[in-house]
Structure 1
Amino acid sequence: MNTASRAPAPRRLPPEERERTIVDGAVALARESGIDTLTVRAVAARVGVTPALVAHYRPVMDVFVAEVFGTIVAAERDEVLDDFTPAGGLRASLRRLVETLLDDSREDVALVWVQAWSLGVRNEPLGERVRAEMDLWQSRLEEVIADAASRDPDDSADPAFAAWMLLAMVDGMSAHALVKWAPRDRADLARRTVAAVLDRPEPPASAVTTRTSEERP
């Protein structure tokens, strides 16, 4: 009697479920290592299927890379902006938003963005998706700024200009942080950036700073 054990055969999945596992595996791989690691073989190894199966569901890798990029950055945009509430006025709201986007925990998405800008030069589907996602960030952030400004009698801003400036700063600083070139005090950077895009300057420090008991004479 042959009692030798056999490795279990891969479980057959419905096409929709198999496709979902391939996309999810590619997204996870890109978040861990960047979208430049996305190849048919790498995704297949990650999911535990043959390269031929990956190619069956996603026959054009440039298009698949663009899809994975869009999935990752859209999820971050929805996470940051869907639950955003303009509490505490326009200045405080924007400062909180910038601090959130500059948080170290978002470096995986920052790497995806930086690589997409570079790879999108020659990967046209990716370049097109990058432009679309940047437009969506701009328009969504304009809406957030306009909403916060409408609730705040003390501050105002041009939503289109403010959104462009904030995104340019966040994108630049996020890229710098990947190579460990960034200011130590990101909160101060956020404060100064927000002040630069508002129609009214930041109040002098002496007007908003309360001395501690140790500092009082």
Structure 2
Amino acid sequence: MTRVTKDSADRREGILRATLDMIKEGGIDRVRGADVAKRVGVSVGLVFYHFDNLETLIVEALRYASDRDIEHRDAALAASSSDVTERLWTMLIEYGPSGSEFGWRLWVQAWSASLRDPTLRGVVHDLDEGWREVLIGIIDDGVAQGVFTCPDPVAATWRLTSMLDGLAVQHVVFDDVVSMEQIRDWTQLALERELGI
């Protein structure tokens, strides 16, 4: 890769990161091309050289965040135990509002904005679908090993992720009205009911 190409890729990534920071700080609706340019230290023209318009910039920033989430999820899965129950817990912890809340704050914003933007809706849908596929695969493995009892892993996964989505919103958006301890306890109860763990 030539130096110019690498510089261009680095600059593009810097613009995406700055856009995500601005979404975190003020929300999607407050992102302005001029503010992104100022934060990165480039001209507005350069921002829109890399991204045709503000809508494209926001979608690409969220696609960038989605790709990072997927990489993180896949690395956590690869590093997890071979024990199917521990693998499931690892993935549910990664999925839920653990660690940094920025990811969840970002995706709550993205869900809201995707109501108005079909391209963004596709990004959010693909991320959600990827998570469900991973969880369904783990539950299928647990059923095949006789560790889990679950007649419908797809439906069980939908119920578990929907529950975690709702609890994450309560925890992140409403300033810990639901605690992490409650989320863990209720997730354990849901796993007992869904999978016989």
Query: Is 1:170 paired with 2:167?
Result: no
Q: What is the deviation of 1:174?
A: 0.9
Q: Structure 2: how far apart are the matches of 1:65 and 1:192?
A: 38
CA distance 1:104–1:131, shift in 2 (3 Å): closer
User: Which residue identity does 1:102 align to in structure 2?
Assistant: G
Q: Structure 2: how far apart are the matches of 1:147 and 1:36?
A: 42
CA distance 1:63–1:112, shift in 2 (3 Å): same
CA distance 1:20–1:103, shift in 2 (3 Å): closer
The aligned residue for residue 48 of structure 2 is 55
User: Which residue identity does 1:15 align to in structure 2?
Assistant: S
User: Which residue identity does 2:118 align to in structure 1?
Assistant: E
The aligned residue for residue 189 of structure 2 is 192
1:99-178 equivalent positions in 2, closer than 5 A: 99-150=93-144, 152-157=145-150, 158-178=152-172
Q: Is the 8 A contact 1:120 1:127 kept in 2?
A: yes
Q: Kindly name which structure, 1 or 2, has the bigger radius of gyration based on alpha carbons.
A: 1
Q: Runs of 5+ in structure 2 lacking a partner? A: 1-5
Q: Report the identity percentage.
A: 22
Q: What is the deviation of 1:120?
A: 1.1
Query: Is 1:75 paired with 2:72?
Result: no
Q: Is the 8 A contact 1:31 1:108 kept in 2?
A: yes
Q: Structure 1: how far apart are the matches of 2:81 and 2:98?
A: 23
Q: What is the deviation of 1:135?
A: 2.0
Q: TM-score, normalised by structure 2?
A: 0.79
Q: Structure 2: how far apart are the matches of 1:131 and 1:15?
A: 29
User: Which residue identity does 2:189 align to in structure 1?
Assistant: R
CA distance 1:78–1:18, shift in 2 (3 Å): closer
Q: Runs of 5+ in structure 1 lacking a partner? A: 1-12, 203-217
User: Which residue identity does 1:58 align to in structure 2?
Assistant: F
3-state SS in 2 of match to 1:83: helix
What's the Cα RMSD here?
A: 2.6
